Chains A and B, each alone.
Chain A
Amino acid sequence: MPNKIAIIGDSESIKGFAAIGFDLIECDKPEKAGALLRNTAETELYSIIYMTEETFVSSERERKKYEEKSLPAIIPVPGLKGNCGIGRQRLSDFVERAVGSDIIFNN
């Protein structure tokens, strides 16, 4: 049963997560994030994979595959470079997909 937690991102942003017991997967070049995500997800060891926003954006194609599967959950978190609103945009997209237009967050 996959039960580990991983975080993918640049080494500076994710360093702290080692202290609380996440597995770090360093990815200093966002273009490699897709391959790293695929490798990480395919090990089937991880139930949750957090990604910094930069890596999250650049691995869109790989993420599609895991959209309908319940595991792993791939979640964007803001990195050191700050928050660029991807997480909120994502929620807004969910509402748009479900309802037809974003009636809650109105972005």
Chain B
Amino acid sequence: MAVMNVNPTRMQLQKLKKQLNTALRGHKMLKDKRDELMRQFLDLVRRNMELRVSIEEQLKKCNESFASAGAVMSSEMLTQSLLTTSQKMFANPSTKNIMSVNVPVFTTEKRNNDTSAVYPYGFAFTSFELDDAVSALAKVSEQLVELAEIEKSCEMMSVEIEKTRRRVNSLEHVLIPRYTDTIKYISMKLEENDRSSKARLMKVKDMLLEQAHHYSEQE
């Protein structure tokens, strides 16, 4: 039993009862928040895994194509072909509030919306493997941004869930029992005081009556 170090008075009792009420309300709300966050998190993390598996598979293929392109072309030629790009991709961030966690939402924007803009080189001196690799990478680019969005959301939510979980547990297992125990202790102490003062009064009354009327002598 963890009793707080307080004076057993009525005022203190009232104060503690109010605090207990607030703690109970907070506990309920935080528990609801945790449950809802958890539900959304689990959905999101499953989607995240699916996306990651598919992206990793696609990137592996891209890398294979790049490797074969590198085998056919000279490394300088390959670098030169790729680095002269005019395409630029942007991810404009905005935020979405999921149970008071502000997770980012990215909307992609491309400088050049033409699908052929990803080929910054002439086709004459480059191998077709390079074209394959670049087109595969262009396909995966939107998904990569979506992956970033979901993965960041999962990361932030997992941090928030951990925090909320700790809060719920500390309220449930530390704060609330401490309050209830202290309230019980104070009310018992007050009742005890009442009883003892009542007994004292009765005793005093007896003594006074005895003095006034001398009952014991009359018998």
- Which residues does A use to contact B, with CB under 8 Å? 1-5, 12-13, 15-22, 47-48, 50, 67-68, 70-71, 73, 75, 77-80, 82-83, 87-88, 90-91, 94-95, 97-100, 104-105
Contacts and interface: CB of A to CB of B under 8 A. Distances in A.
Interface string B61-95: 01100110010000000110011010111111101
Interface in B177-212: none
Given A5-B145, A71-B93, A71-B104, A98 B161 contact: yes
A5 B91 contact: yes
Contacts, number: 146
B118 interface: yes
Contact of B162 (A3, A73, A90, A98): A98
A72 to B, nearest CB: 9
Contacts of B154: 91, 94
Interface residues of B, number: 62
B55 to A, nearest CB: 8
Interface string B42-58: 10011011001101100
Contacts of A88: 49, 52-53
B102 interface: yes
Contact of A19 (B52, B63, B138): B138
A103 B207 CA distance: 74
A22 B142 CA distance: 12
Contacts of A70: 93, 95, 102-104, 152, 156
Contact of B148 (A50, A90, A91): A50
B52 A87 contact: yes
User: Which are the 6 A-B pairs with shortest beta-carbon distances?
Assistant: A21-B89, A73-B152, A98-B161, A94-B158, A98-B158, A21-B87
A94 B45 CA distance: 8
B135 to A, nearest CB: 9
Contacts of A95: 42, 45, 158
Contacts of B148: 48, 50, 73, 75
Nearest to B93: A47
5 contacts: A1-B92, A19-B85, A19-B87, A75-B151, A105-B49
